[in-house]
Structure 1
Amino acid sequence: MKNTLKFLSSFILATLITACACSSCAPAPELEDMMSKQEVDFFRLVESMCGETFVGESVYPEDPGHDFAGKKLVATIDYCDHRQIRIPFTVGDDASRTWILTVTRQGLLFKHDHRLKDGSPDPVTNYGGYSASYKDEAVTATKHFFHADDFTAELIPDAKTNVWMVEVDPENKELTYYLERHGKPRYKAVLQLKE
């Protein structure tokens, strides 16, 4: 009797563990179930360019004292899966920055990952926000606006009004990164696809 109870207990426990495990084995939702068509199209466009490198320079501000002035800018679409794209962004010799596009249930998320020389996170990192229209301009399959999220506003109070724009122009083989703060231009870089 004791052995039978032991066996039944083990069987019930194994069944419960299997049932719990299987509930987390449900197929991952499709991108279309998580984001708008424009967000999906934009994500897939960038994903289709995985492995490509864009090279360019800052075009705004035209201040020679700006940190990025006169430096070669390189963005490589380096890592792509069906939920995240990582784009290391090098400024001159500084390879501490990576742009990250992530599929979420709240929409497409754009973040800036900054690292110290030892690879550990910079104290100011992971800022960015979600895709949404801006100044009556809708997001499209090639152009998205990302509004500073609550985390960014807490991390960098001055950046709470930041809106980043990322545009990929396949026809002209161009990538544009643009930032506004308080509704005014703050930074712009234009990079060309490296042949």
Structure 2
Amino acid sequence: MKQLSPALLAGLVACATTPAAAPQDAFFARLSGLCGKAFEGRIASPPVDADRDFAGKRLVMHVRDCSGDTIRIPFHVGENRSRTWLVTRGQSALRLKHDHRHEDGSEDKLTQYGGDATLPGTAGRQEFPADAETKALFVRENIPQSLTNVWALDVEPGRIFAYELRRPGRFFRVEFDLTRPVATPPPPWGSDARQRAH
């Protein structure tokens, strides 16, 4: 049996590993394609008491800041501009984090939580189980029910963008209509502080 040359072997390894990253790259590209635009959304999951803060509020997401490896998506709930979804592209996987700020720009005690996309996913959907840092935060803040959180983002170009949270006994999903862009909202709370930090 012939041995494979080192060059051919390296090529086969590259072919075997590239497809795993390809869906995440395609997803990031889809998300980047929305940069600069804002869209109105609605709660698409069954109403529960835990979502009362969203009831009757205008929900707007704004793909506000984009670079080759970072996308910031403020999520406005009525006049509340405390939430920003942060999607970054690292060497091994996409990462989703939640940047929560107070009106004065300071960080909330529950912030920078999320996780990495541990599976390849698809060009249209990526899932992010809670990472170790997030689990430690949830333990410290006495919310153990959130340790099994899995967040997801869906992007169907020309149709919807969705944000989702799942865990046993909990399902929250908000969908944004990509067919009808809306006026861009004001900056999220803390955006000036983040700019000064960089």
Provide the TM-score with structure 2 as the length reference: 0.73
Identity %: 38
- 1:29 aligned partner: none
AA paired with 1:53? A
- 2:149 aligned partner: 162
Is residue 57–residue 191 contact of structure 1 (8 Å, CA) maintained in 2?
Answer: yes
**Shift of residue 72, structure 1, vs aligned partner:** 1.2
CA distance in 2, matches of 1:140, 1:54: 22
Is residue 152–residue 159 contact of structure 1 (8 Å, CA) maintained in 2?
Answer: no
CA distance in 2, matches of 1:101, 1:126: 11
- Which one has a bigger Cα radius of gyration? 1
Q: Which runs of 5+ in 2 are unaligned?
A: 1-16, 139-143, 182-198
AA paired with 1:143? R
- 1:53 aligned partner: 38
Map 1:6-45 onto structure 2 (within 5 A).
36-45=21-30
SS at match of 2:53: coil
- 1:63 aligned partner: 48
CA distance in 1, matches of 2:55, 2:92: 35
AA paired with 1:122? D
**Shift of residue 185, structure 1, vs aligned partner:** 4.1
Name which of 125, 137, 143 aligns with 2:125.
143
Name which of 118, 124, 130 aligns with 2:116.
130
- 1:119 aligned partner: 105
**Does 1 or 2 have the higher relative contact order (CA < 8 Å, sep 6+)?**
2
Is residue 132–residue 144 contact of structure 1 (8 Å, CA) maintained in 2?
Answer: no
Name which of 152, 173, 179 aligns with 1:188.
173
SS at match of 1:42: helix
- 2:135 aligned partner: 153
AA paired with 2:60? V
AA paired with 2:151? W
2:79 is aligned with 1:93: yes
Name which of 159, 164, 169 aligns with 1:178.
164
Q: What is the number of residues matched between the two proteins?
A: 157
Deviation above 6 Å: which 4+ runs of structure 1?
Answer: none
